[in-house]
Amino acid sequence: MRHSVNRPPTPDVRDDQEKEPTLQEIINIKLIESGEKERLMELLRERLVECGWKDEMKSLCRAFVKKKGRNNVTVDDLVHVVTPKGRASIPDSVKAELLQRIRTFLVSTTL
Amino acid sequence: MSASNEDNMSSHSQLSTLFFNDLLDSIIVDVASECHRIARLGLDRNLDDEEEELRLSAQARARVADPSNSGEATSKYVVDIFGQTHPPVANEIFECMNCGRAIMAGRFAPHLEKCMGKGRKARKTTRSSTAAQNRYSRGSPVSTHSPYANSTSMNRLSNGSPSVAGDEYSNGTLEEP
């Protein structure tokens, strides 16, 4: 699978996953290049801070660090602590808003 | 076009979800990295609060149990838990109920020895009965020895003093008749 950022020579969109970049990859590239991905990330970050999600995750991490000892913690540990709870505790409104924006972008680029 | 539109919709939904999860993962890594930094740099002061408290309470306990600090007579400027300092000798002045003189609290017991004990042995009976009647107006049993004289070394009023009548008293009050 090619991870290159270079555009393929033809703008045709294909579902062929062997040599041609996948639809997902292409759209990903478009997201990044247009700056929309950055904007979406900032929007999501802001919403998650507002609704207290970030504070919840931080307190999870703090509890884990307290249990394991300050100097024995790795970033990987914390990622594994946060990911399951983090994915599950996203408020529906936040998720809906982001999905809506992504879908709008998809529609505008693939048409 | 209409048929492919529906396909587009579902694949759009799928793709949207994929991208959303991608964004979320990035943010999770950011949060984890930030917490990791705070943990390793020790920037989170609340983390060790419990341990701090345990250590401080152990220190305080050691200080209280330390014999050199507990005696009021030994050190001059002992501070108790309310932050008050007490002089080594109690210096409150009040009137002796026996002879009517102004006595310093810390010197009361030796004064009483002289005042009621060795000094006036001849008038012991009369003196103590009048004193007892004056002090305990609630009809206390008049005994040859007033309760105070029995305990010669008395720095504090104690409940279980060896009085003849065996009355229990605290703060100079007696039981109701």
What does the pLDDT average to over A18-22?
Answer: 74
Q: For residues A55 and B98, what is the distance between their CA atoms, to the nearest angstrom?
A: 73
CB contact under 8 A, A87 and B31: no
**For chains A and B, what is the number of CB pairs under 8 angstroms?**
95
* Contact between residue A47 and residue A97 where contact means Cβ atoms under 8 Å apart: yes
Q: For residues A7 and A19, what is the distance between their CA atoms, to the nearest angstrom?
A: 13
What interface predicted TM-score (ipTM) does this complex get? 0.80
Asked whether the predicted pLDDT for residue B166 surpasses 50, the reply is: no
Chain-centre distance for alpha carbon A51: 18
Name the pTM for this structure: 0.49
Nearest residue to A87 (alpha-carbon basis) of B20, B16, B11: B20
**pLDDT confidence of residue B98:** 83
Residue B78, classed as helix, strand or coil, is coil
Q: For residues B108 and B103, what is the distance between their CA atoms, to the nearest angstrom?
A: 6
Give the total residue count for chain B: 177
* Contact between residue B85 and residue B79 where contact means Cβ atoms under 8 Å apart: yes
Judging contacts by C-beta atoms under 8 Å, the chain B residues touching residue A58 are 31, 34-35
Judging contacts by C-beta atoms under 8 Å, the chain B residues touching residue A86 are 24, 28, 31
- List pLDDT tens digits, range A33-61: 999 999 999 999 999 999 999 999 999 99
Determine the residue of chain B that is closest to A65 in CA distance. B39
Mean pLDDT of chain B: 69
Residue A82 structure tokens: 């946060």
Q: From the CA of B59, how many Å to the nearest CA of chain A?
A: 23
Share of chain B above pLDDT 70, in %: 49
Q: Can you give the residue ranges of every domain in chain A? A: 23-51+93-111, 53-90
Q: From the CA of B58, how many Å to the nearest CA of chain A?
A: 21
Q: From the CA of A102, how many Å to the nearest CA of chain B?
A: 6
Return the CATH number of A53-90, one of 1.10.246.140, 1.10.1040.50, 1.10.8.10, 3.40.50.620. 1.10.246.140
Q: Does the beta carbon of B47 lie under 8 angstroms from any beta carbon of chain A?
A: yes
Torsion of CA A44, A48, A50, A52, to 10 degrees: 180
